Each structure stands twice: as C-alpha cells, then as structure tokens.
Structure 1
Amino acid sequence: MAHPRQMHLALLASRTEGAVWRHPTSTPGAAAQLRSFSHQAAEAERGLFDLFFLADSSGLRNDPPELWSRTPYFHNVLEPATALAAIAMSTSRIGLGGTATTSYYQPYHIARLFSSLDHISAGRAAWNVVTSANAFISLNFGEIELPDHGSRYVRAREVMEAVNALWDTWDDDAFRFDKESGLYYDPQGLHPVTYRGDHVNVLGGGLNIARAPQGKPVIIQAGGSSAGRQLAAESADLIFSSARSVAEGVAYNTDVKSRMSASGRDPETMSILPGFRVVVADSADEAEDKYRAICALLDDETAVLRMAVDLEVDLRALPLDRPVPLDILPTSARFHTHFFDQIVAKIKAESPTLRDLARWWVESATHRGTASDLADLMEEWFTAGAADGFMLTFDLPAGPTEFVDKVVPELQRRGLYRTEYQASTLRGHLGLPTPSSPTVVAAGAGM
C-alpha cells in the first residue's frame, strides 16, 4: 500500500575525490570524463530518481599544494551546465541540476545557462544557488578576499530576483513562427527587463531564448546559516540540508518551513533532502568491511586540511592526539556558517582529538548496511519529518547500481517510493506547478 507521502531521491554525482580516488575500483580523473557522469545519471534514472546533481566550485584549492595534491577536491572537473546538457541527450526523465555562484556570475549568464538547459532537456533543469564560501574562489575574479557573509546574501537575493525577471522576458506563446504573416514572435509577448539593485542591474534587456519549458527552472539551495535559510524559505523549491540526525533534521525542516509560512509561501511546495552518504551490501558485516576499506585510505594530514577549510583556521601545527583549543578558532564563521557551527559544537560537547575530529568530519557520517537496514533508516527520517527525501552520495562506482538494485525495491515494497515516473519534467516529479507567464499573471491579478 502506498504511503500518503512518497520520498524524493537525488543523486549527488561522485567525483571520486578525497581519498576515494585511490580505491581499486575507482577511476582517477573520472570527474572530467563525461561517460562517468552519464553512467551515474542513467543508473539514477533507472532507479526513478527525481534529480541528478553536479556540485561545483569556481576556485582552485592550492595552498598548500603538497597536501591538496593528495586529496583532490574539484581539482579536475567538468563545468556543470556544459556536462548536464550532454547528459540530457542520454537521459529522458531525470532532473538535471547544477551549481552556479551568485557572487561572481551575472544574472544574465545564469538565466541563459539554465534556460538553455531546460530547453535542451525538455523541462528538467535546476539551478543550485550558492554564494561561494571559500576565499580561494575570489582570486579567480580579481579579489583577494570574498565579500563578507551578509553582503554575499544581499547580492544573492538581488541576483535571484534579476534571474527570475529575465526568465519572464517572454510569454509562453510569444514565439509564433508564422510564415504566412511573417511574424516570428508577437511583440506584445516580449517584456524587456529592468532591474536595479545595489549589486546587479539589468537595464531594459532581456533573455534571447523563449520561455523555458518549466516556465522557470527549479531552484535548489543548501542554506545552513540563518541568512541562507531565510533566502531558501523565500525562493527555493528544493533544499539540500546537512542534518546529521533525525532531531537535527526535524529542527531544520521546522525552522525553514515556518520561515516559508511567514514569507507567504506554502510549506508543502518545498522538499528538503538531507545528504546521505551510503554503503549498501548483502550483509551488515560486508557493508562495514566496504566502509572500513574506504576509511583506510584516509590520510590524517589531508583530513585535517579538509576540515580546516570549514573551521577557517590553519590546524597543521597542532598535535593530532590532542583536542583543538577553542581559543584558536574564529568567534564566528565568515564562509560556511553551518559547517563551522557543527564542528565547533562537536568540540564543545566531546573534546575529541584533532585526529578523531577530522576523521569524523571528512568521513561524513556514512550510513551502511543491508537494503533493509538502509530502508529502515530512511523510513525513520522520512516519517519523523526530518526529510522529504534524500540526496544520496556513493563513494564507489558501483554504489548507485547497488542502491537501485537493492534499496529501491525495498522502498517501493513499503509504499514509500514511486514505481514509475508520473511526469516528464522535474517540476512534475516534485509536485510543483509551472509558473505562469507574465501576461497570465497580470490577467489573473486584474480579475
């Protein structure tokens, strides 16, 4: 019997980074190979996933190069919109999401990239809105440091408003292609865009492509800070959360959805997907062995380096077998506020050694077990209101296939997950309406 609600699933594409690139089954360099992503997307579509997602960074981590050279992290990757356009050709139903930063992209670039992807994919595009949260990114754009956290979110809100205005350049039926009359488009269906902000401006231009098949591509965010949660509550259709427990997931979802209500939005139009790193096997012992084999590849020095990025402090001089002194940490985060707060809370609550803290952070609370074990866990989160679904991550190449073959049937047996696609667009998968074009909105407003 089907559950009254059914969970949504997204696949975070594996780039075989960190220590996993050294695993015998991994293909180093796969993150720059289209066939790797195409295979992952095809497996996710076979599993009826809502979304295939490509994360991205607009910067290069290279300080210190002797450590980063051992733990790749966006060091050899394809640009998302380009890769997703190619992947659209080998898939037909699964949504295709990618990252573009509001801190350094112009609204027109974002609007055109994702509108084009929506046309190419016949209505399956999603834009993941990020503000860029690491100082090394700013170097590529002529700045020594990132703007402060508050300024980045002010700009992000303006960029999103301008992008949405650009997506409304044309009415749904503006392009007539009428050979007999010679009318290519109805000039009444064109709405030049003027947007003025403190950070971005559009001065009467517009998007030079017809309105997207979805009306507007789906908006994804991963707001962890108060400012991030507020922006997501005001504008996102889908959120990736970093909750690490049911209690944390419930608290996060309650907060964001209450902010939605306060902003005049229906909380039922938002889906929140916690990130779930998963190892599945035929027995609990086998799953644990697979997980330990991955952990054994982890290097303490590079684990500390990866965590130090989110703590915003150089930890290399500290002894590995002593706790991290709180007095060396910043009083608050400038970049990834939620990640910073999670690590500091762990230090305060448990005072772990630097080695244990770094391994806890980088190993990312991997969930492992049999199909039944993982379905039990996902059902617990889902029914408790800690998740509307999950953004799944697999370290090893076989991970998506094993999940689709083993866990998906178990979720379907429990009535928690679809047995076939009911829609052809990402908005349809998520149960979201198609936004009306400007003239329809104006006509409705005057009724």
Structure 2
Amino acid sequence: MSKQKQIILNFFLNSTGVHEMGWKHPDAQPERVSDLSHYIKLVQIAEAAKFHAVFLADDLSLNPLVSTHGLILGFEPVSLLSSLAAVTSRIGLIATVSSTYTEPFNTARIFASLDHLSGGRAGWNIVTTADNRNSQLNFQNEEAISHETYYSRAEEFVQVAKKFWDSWEDDALVFDRKEGIYADSNKIHTFDHHGEFYHAKGPLNIPRSPQGYPVLVQAGASEIGRNFAARTAEIVYTMQSSWETAQAFYADMKSRVEKFGRDRDDLKIIPGICPIIGKTESEAKEKAAEFNELLDVRSGVKRLSLALEHDLSGYPLDEPLPDVSTISNQSTHSQLILAIARNEQLTLRELVHRVSSGNGHLTFVGTPVQVADQLEAWFLKAADGFAIRPQLSPSGLEDFAKWVVPELQRRGLFHKEYSGKTLRENLGLKRPANSLSKQFS
C-alpha cells in the first residue's frame, strides 16, 4: 500500500502578519519589529506544529508607504534565519536573496554556511528583483534591463552557484592526524566558468554542506519565470486568487517540469493562503470585519495605485473599476489584481480590502474544519502544500497551529513528526549528486 501524500506547510514570517494595517490591531506588537525574541517565538510555534519551513521574503528598497503600512520587514534574511537556526532543530529556513544584486560566490557561500550551521535546513528563494527602480538606485544601477535578461542572468547565476557547491566532494575532509592530511586536495575542484554574464573559477572556501545544495525556491509566474522554475526550482511559491486559476497553474507547471526531463514530484507547488480562523464561522467573520475596520481606504488606494502604476485616486470608491485596459503595467502581480477586480466584480473599496488582506493571495475565513476543508480540496488538485500567511502574528499563527494542524493530522493529510533531519528529507526531495566529482573521477 503506497504511503498517503501529505501536505507541505511553510510559514511566511514577518513582524505583525500580512494584513497591511494589522500592526494597528490591539493584539499586534509592532514595537517588537526589531526584537529577535519576537521572531524566535514565531518560528518555535511553527516548529512545534511541525511546519516544514519558515520563509522570509525580502525587499531591497524602503516601502514608499512606510508612514502608514507595516508590511515589510527589513532584516537581511540570512542574518535573521542564521539566528533562528540556533534556537530550532528541524524546521527549514528559506531566505530570499536576489540574483541581480550579488555574485554567485557570495550567494553560494552564505547558503553553504547556513546549511552547515543549521544541520541541513537551508533553502534559497531565488528572485531577480526585476522592475524595481528604487532597488536599482540603491545599488547605483541605472541601467534598464529587460525582463528576459534578468532571467537569463538568474539561470547562469544558479549554474555557477551549483558549481561552487560542487567544488568540494562530500568526503574531501580527511582529518588524518597520523599522516597530517586535513583535506584531500584531489577532491577539491576548480571549474573555470566563462559565460555570458559571469566568470568564475572556484573552489568555494567552505566544504560541501549537508544538503549538497540548499532547497531551490522560485516564485516567477510569467512565461519565462515558469520555464525558469520548471528547469531549476524545487519549490514554487505562487499567488492564486481562485480554485480555477490554481488548478490551471498546477497542471501547467507539472507539465513543464516533465518537458524539461524532470519528475513531477521534483517540483512542489505551494500557493500562499491567508487564513482567518474562528471557533465558529461568525467569530471568524467578526475577525475579518475587525481587519476591515483598521484599514484607511484612501491609503489603500495609494497602495493599489503604486502596484498598478496607475493613479486610482479619482475613481469612485463604491463603483466597479472602469475600463482598466488603459493600465500599462503588465507585471504578473498587476494583472492578478486586475483579474481579481474583474472576476469577483469588486468595487474599488472592496478591491482595496481584498488586496490589503493578502496582497492578492486567497483568504480563507471560517472554522478550523472549514479551513481544513478548503486546504484539502486545493491539495487534491491544485497544490502540494501551502505557505501560511496569517493576517496577524503571533495570534493567527497560534490559531492555525492549535486548531487547523490537528484537524489536518486527524485526516491523515499532515505529518505528526518530521520524517528526517534535513529540509530535503522532510520535503521528500533528493540530495543532488556532485557534478564535479563525476567529471574528475
């Protein structure tokens, strides 16, 4: 009898939760935004509930709405997750690092370090930071780069990083006290990479880590982003606003993976979900209403205007968006927002609330059983797991851990204990073979 497939759960970590105005909630603790003990508590709640990993996003520029919005955590991700590695033992640690504003050696080194220090729990969320003018200027980069070039450079970046990780064979460290041999130099390799964007030789100055490579994560949803993920990634985070689009995305990505010669199970599809949980349905709806009351709608309109690169301030709040075909921003996120407005027939005010509560991710409001029902339905046809994005932290995470996790376990859909020590083992992913050891053997 084959083992039942189980849900992957990752926790999206930030300071007060994903609701833009959640920091105003009486149960929020925004003053602890720079308090390490706050993040220790959050990740330990997630680990006690047996979440597979904690995921930390990143932004390389200041949120232009920082005066009112409390959404973005500014810590450098690997620094924070390295601190959290010391107070956890099994949960995975996935950090976002841009392939545009660093070098393959630096990235390979920091993730090998995190993987060693955590005992094999590191993951790398590969982003290109495309189309972010403020980030460009922060790095003294005024060059206009095409979307395709960002991804071409990212693909080569990952190829070079893998060569750095493979530059040490697993048994290169000898520690032969009698013969005085610390490491076998024949098992430490250079590789002479000369590509379109990068030139590197290696080797890395740190041995191969427990997982070989960190788990590779990607979130691109454009055509070129999907192909990049299908060739390279092992987890794809995705923003889906409906069952139908989630199912179509899942089928498309699994098909692409096979076209690139990989097994369907080599890539895990993880939609982001923003749950609001109550002991009763009415209690859950009351919680959702509380979040709506926190929102300054005009401030929310500013945020939408920035996201769409189109001034919405003159539009009536309680009427549907007028013809939006004139909006020129064709980014995946912008098109998702417009699709939500169109498909759900929302007024501008309703769209502001919809986006503020999850940035376009689907929000499940209900009892633990109702939320588990939704997760199960998506899991059977449209997901391998979920990135849980509580509206408010820590209380939203505590509600999910206390109520929804046991319900999923009761149904046999979620594990009760970690199956392995490394993130790869817990996700059911293979440890990559060393390409350079084969070349030099």
- CA separation in 2, counterparts of 1:376 and 1:267? 25
Q: Please list the CA deviations of residues 293-332 of structure 1 after superposition, one character each: whole Å capped at 9, or x if unmatched.
A: 11211111221222233323333344434524425410x5
- 1:303 counterpart residue number: 300
- CA separation in 2, counterparts of 1:218 and 1:58? 22
- 2:102 counterpart residue number: 105
- 1:359 counterpart residue number: 353
- Answer yes or no: is 1:248 the counterpart of 2:242: no
- Tell whether the 8 Å contact from 1:3 to 1:416 is kept in structure 2 after alignment: no
- 2:423 counterpart residue number: 426
Deviates more, 1:357-366 or 1:315-324: 315-324
Report the secondary structure of 2:6's partner residue.
Answer: coil
Report the secondary structure of 2:397's partner residue.
Answer: helix
Counterpart pick for 1:340 among 334, 359, 364:
334
- CA separation in 1, counterparts of 2:21 and 2:345? 25
- CA separation in 1, counterparts of 2:118 and 2:288? 36
- Tell whether the 8 Å contact from 1:10 to 1:390 is kept in structure 2 after alignment: yes
- Written as runs of structure 1 = structure 2, the 5 A alignment for 1:306-325 is 306-322=303-319, 323-325=321-323
- 2:390 counterpart residue number: 394
- Written as runs of structure 1 = structure 2, the 5 A alignment for 1:28-107 is 28-62=30-64, 67-74=65-72, 77-107=74-104
- Tell whether the 8 Å contact from 2:163 to 2:436 is kept in structure 1 after alignment: no
The share of aligned pairs that are identical, in percent, is: 37
- Tell whether the 8 Å contact from 2:124 to 2:217 is kept in structure 1 after alignment: yes
- Tell whether the 8 Å contact from 1:139 to 1:145 is kept in structure 2 after alignment: no
- CA separation in 1, counterparts of 2:303 and 2:431? 40
Structure 2 CA distance for partners of 1:316 and 1:158, relative to 1, 3 Å: farther
Q: CA deviation at 1:403?
A: 1.2
Counterpart pick for 2:406 among 385, 395, 409:
409
- CA separation in 2, counterparts of 1:405 and 1:414? 15
- Tell whether the 8 Å contact from 2:217 to 2:236 is kept in structure 1 after alignment: yes
Report the TM-score, using the length of structure 1 for normalisation: 0.92
Q: CA deviation at 1:91?
A: 0.4
Q: CA deviation at 1:73?
A: 3.6
Structure 2 CA distance for partners of 1:108 and 1:440, relative to 1, 3 Å: closer
- 1:435 counterpart residue number: 432
- 2:136 counterpart residue number: 138
Structure 2 CA distance for partners of 1:71 and 1:307, relative to 1, 3 Å: same
- Tell whether the 8 Å contact from 2:357 to 2:391 is kept in structure 1 after alignment: no
- Tell whether the 8 Å contact from 2:14 to 2:71 is kept in structure 1 after alignment: no
- Tell whether the 8 Å contact from 2:167 to 2:436 is kept in structure 1 after alignment: no
Counterpart pick for 1:289 among 286, 289, 298:
286
Structure 2 CA distance for partners of 1:200 and 1:31, relative to 1, 3 Å: farther
Instruction: State the aligned residue count.
Output: 433
- CA separation in 2, counterparts of 1:262 and 1:163? 24
Q: CA deviation at 1:11?
A: 0.3
- Answer yes or no: is 1:24 the counterpart of 2:26: yes
Q: CA deviation at 1:442?
A: 4.2
Q: CA deviation at 1:284?
A: 0.8
- CA separation in 2, counterparts of 1:146 and 1:343? 25
Structure 2 CA distance for partners of 1:319 and 1:328, relative to 1, 3 Å: farther
Q: Please list the CA deviations of residues 382-415 of structure 1 after superposition, one character each: whole Å capped at 9, or x if unmatched.
A: 11x2111110011222112221111111111111
Counterpart pick for 1:169 among 167, 170, 179:
167
Unaligned runs of 5+ residues in structure 2 are none
Q: Please list the CA deviations of residues 107-151 of structure 1 after superposition, one character each: whole Å capped at 9, or x if unmatched.
A: 111111111000000000000001114222111111246522111
Deviates more, 1:363-372 or 1:106-115: 363-372
Structure 2 CA distance for partners of 1:388 and 1:46, relative to 1, 3 Å: same
- CA separation in 1, counterparts of 2:143 and 2:32? 31
Structure 2 CA distance for partners of 1:29 and 1:314, relative to 1, 3 Å: farther
Counterpart pick for 1:199 among 184, 197, 200:
197
Report the TM-score, using the length of structure 2 for normalisation: 0.93
- CA separation in 2, counterparts of 1:280 and 1:19? 18
Q: CA deviation at 1:348?
A: 4.5
Deviates more, 1:204-213 or 1:313-322: 313-322
Counterpart pick for 1:378 among 362, 375, 378:
375
Structure 2 CA distance for partners of 1:145 and 1:399, relative to 1, 3 Å: farther
- CA separation in 2, counterparts of 1:199 and 1:77? 29
Deviates more, 1:131-140 or 1:319-328: 319-328
Report the secondary structure of 1:110's partner residue.
Answer: helix
Structure 2 CA distance for partners of 1:369 and 1:146, relative to 1, 3 Å: farther
Unaligned runs of 5+ residues in structure 1 are none
- 1:4 counterpart residue number: 4
- CA separation in 2, counterparts of 1:403 and 1:441? 46
1:390 aligned partner, one-letter code: F
Q: CA deviation at 1:102?
A: 0.8
Deviates more, 1:259-268 or 1:312-321: 312-321
Deviates more, 1:86-95 or 1:192-201: 192-201
- Tell whether the 8 Å contact from 1:324 to 1:354 is kept in structure 2 after alignment: no
- 2:114 counterpart residue number: 117
2:354 aligned partner, one-letter code: W
Q: Please list the CA deviations of residues 41-73 of structure 1 after superposition, one character each: whole Å capped at 9, or x if unmatched.
A: 1111111111111111111133xxxx4311134
- CA separation in 2, counterparts of 1:170 and 1:355? 56
Structure 2 CA distance for partners of 1:327 and 1:270, relative to 1, 3 Å: closer
Q: CA deviation at 1:347?
A: 4.5
Deviates more, 1:174-183 or 1:161-170: 174-183
CA RMSD of aligned residues (A): 2.0
Structure 2 CA distance for partners of 1:314 and 1:164, relative to 1, 3 Å: farther
Structure 2 CA distance for partners of 1:342 and 1:60, relative to 1, 3 Å: same
